[in-house]
Structure 1
Amino acid sequence: MTVKTMQSADVKELLEKVAGFNKDGGNERVKKIVHRVMHDIFQIVEDFDVTPEEFWSAVYYVGELGANGEAALLAPGLGMDRYLDIRQDAEDEQAGLAGGTPRTIEGPLYVAGAPVSESFARMDDGSDQAAEVILIKGQITDESGAPLANAIVDIWHADTKGAYSYFDQSQSEYNLRRRIKTDAEGRYAAQSIMPSGYGCPPEGSTQQLLNHLGRHGQRPAHIHYFVSKPGYKHLTTQINIAGDEYTYDDFAFATREELVVDANRVEQSGTGAKHGVSGPITEVEFNVTLVTTDKPELQERHARQRALETDAA
């Protein structure tokens, strides 16, 4: 039978001291959060009769997770990023800011400072001659359908091996990363290559835990977006390419029905022709609706650690 100690005076006193409740100074919010976190961990130890061996195995697992840089990979895999989106959707609903194109998770692989282009960009460096050439296109509008000129469409995605530039040193600088300013009709377009999905490192900490849960660590082919314009709510989202094996089985829980987009092969793209892109090509169309807001804090992406964020203009 599991020993019950959580209601004992010793444990209650210990938690008070751990959280610094018996000391002046510090941050009261942090104290309360630490108290709750440690209380819940102690409670888990009691409820599941966690052994010292299991406990220290978990401690060293957390250390390894930090050492190999996978904490930001495990977070979406455990549904944390998706949960934050659910909360933000509920907050928007309560504040009367619901609507527009749905948000979904950012992921850990954004790099700030990508080159800016007017209405059209070539995203790939041309080094992958065997890749399927795609044309990403769309229109940015407000809730009434009016086009939004000079919106910034920040796009990034993986290469055909599922790797991202900057993190994959074999790729050129800002390969498959661009910021595009929409034209007078709110339109943007980009020539690129079809991305591949990817999996968590098979011997890494994230996959180790997923194996214990009987889960895979695969993501479908997808393309990330930040879309912004003064006076409108910043949008963080991504599209999944329809037909991928993992489109509706994404280990990071980022798939939303409205964000699954077809890739259509065409002999000639009208949009591409306007920008000098000729011949057969695969079109990926993603139109975005932004929601108006007068709150400055909602017009910017939320603060978090991002590669080169402090260096970008």
Structure 2
Amino acid sequence: MTVKISQTAEIQKFFEQAAGYGNDDGNPRLKQIVLRVLQDTARLIEDLEITDDEFWTAIDYLNRLGASSEAGLLVPGLGIEHFLDLLNEAKDAEIGKTGGTPRTIEGPLYVAGAPIAQGEVRMDDGSEDGVATVMFLEGQVLDLDGKPIVGATVDLWHANTKGNYSYFDKSQSEYNLRRRIVTDAEGRYRARSIVPSGYGCNPQGPTQECLNQLGRHGQRPAHVHFFISAPGYRHLTTQINLSGDKYLWDDFAYATRDGLVGEVKFGEGAARGIDGRIAELEFSFQLQKAVAAEDEQRSNRPRALQVQGA
């Protein structure tokens, strides 16, 4: 027999009290959110007849998820980060903010404060010379009319050949494969790097544990992350997913989108003074004009900050 009490006046009053509605202290916005979480959780428990064992198993899972610092991985894995992009695009379309390079998820592996260079830079530290394929990545930052944006900042980061990111992978040097490039007089950026590998969730981690229960894999295609910013233009968070990857259109984080596939061209490196095979990738970005000052800023999402010399 299904018993439902969550919508009674007594329970609603109880939840309001638990959410702090009975006092004038605290944060009103948080109270509103917590009340909704309590109400929706109660309805979920009733509607799906969640057992005590199921409930406390979920609480244990959340404890383990937080202890492993994988909440930022599970969120894209369950499609919530992609949903936020789709929701923001729908809001933009409602007020006529359209055009330009599509946004896509940031992911949990950005580190602030990467070295900055003018126009051109080498991103890798040479530790994978002879193992990695050298990659030359370049393009322009343009406005919606196709005109170059001089002085834009291209903040980019990607994994090494093992699918690992510096800072989180302590075997790598500081800011390896992380750089900021200020575009030149043609709005162009150029980077010498290495072809990254895709990666998978930790097989023993709580994110993959959840995905296993959903019958899903936890693999990502090879990709390069970008923040693109310039005075007077809307900040863009996006990434290029590399052509030819097995998981290009089967990304567990749902980051691959039309318009964000980078066509990698492989060839011999003699013309660039490189022995052996190289990869070349050209990708340009178009930015929307900023309507308000906050348009130029990325979100205030908590992010890692490398301490120099640490």
TM-score, normalised by the number of residues in structure 1: 0.94
| Equivalent position SS for 2:137 | strand
Change (3 A) 1:196 1:211: same
Distance 2:306 2:76 in 1: 21
Alignment of 1:243-254 (within 5 A): 243-254=244-255
Tell me by how many angstroms 1:23 deviates.
2.1
TM-score for the superposition, normalised by structure 2: 0.94
Question: Residue in 1 aligned with 2:305?
Answer: 308
Pairing 1:232–2:229 present: no
- Residue identity over aligned pairs, in percent, reads 55
Cα deviation for residue 309 of structure 1 reads 7.8
Matches within 5 A, 1:20-99: 20-99=20-99
Partner of 2:289: 292
Matches within 5 A, 1:127-276: 127-129=127-129, 130-267=131-268, 273=272
Cα distance in 1, alignment partners of residues 122 and 101 from structure 2: 25
Q: Compute the displacement of 1:174 (Å).
A: 0.5
**SS of match in other structure, 1:159:** coil
Paired residues in the alignment total 307
2:105 alignment counterpart: 105
In the alignment, the residues of structure 2 paired with residue 88 and residue 277 of structure 1 have an alpha-carbon distance, to the nearest angstrom, of 43
Q: List structure 1 runs of 4+ shifted beyond 6 angstroms.
A: 276-279
Q: Deviations over 1:271-308 (max 9, x none)?
A: xx5xx778752101111011111411110111111111
What is the alpha-carbon distance in structure 1 between the residues aligned to residue 306 and residue 124 of structure 2? 22
Matched to 1:227, the amino acid is: I
1:161-219 C-alpha deviation (Å, 9 max, x unpaired): 00000000000111000111111111111111110111111111111111111111111
Report if the CA contact (8 A) 1:234-1:300 is conserved.
yes
Task: In structure 1, list runs of 5 or more residues that go unmatched.
Answer: none
Greater Cα offset, 8-17 or 124-133: 8-17
1:5-20 pair list within 5 angstroms: 5-20=5-20
Asked if 1:283 is matched to 2:280, the reply is yes
Amino acid in structure 2 at the alignment position of 1:290: L
Report the AA paired with residue 246 of structure 1. Answer: Y
Aligned mates of 2:23, 2:306 — CA distance in 1: 36
Cα distance, 1:120–1:218 mapped onto 2, change above 3 Å: same
- For 2:220 and 2:120, how far apart are their aligned partners in 1? 28
Q: CA deviation at 1:83?
A: 1.1
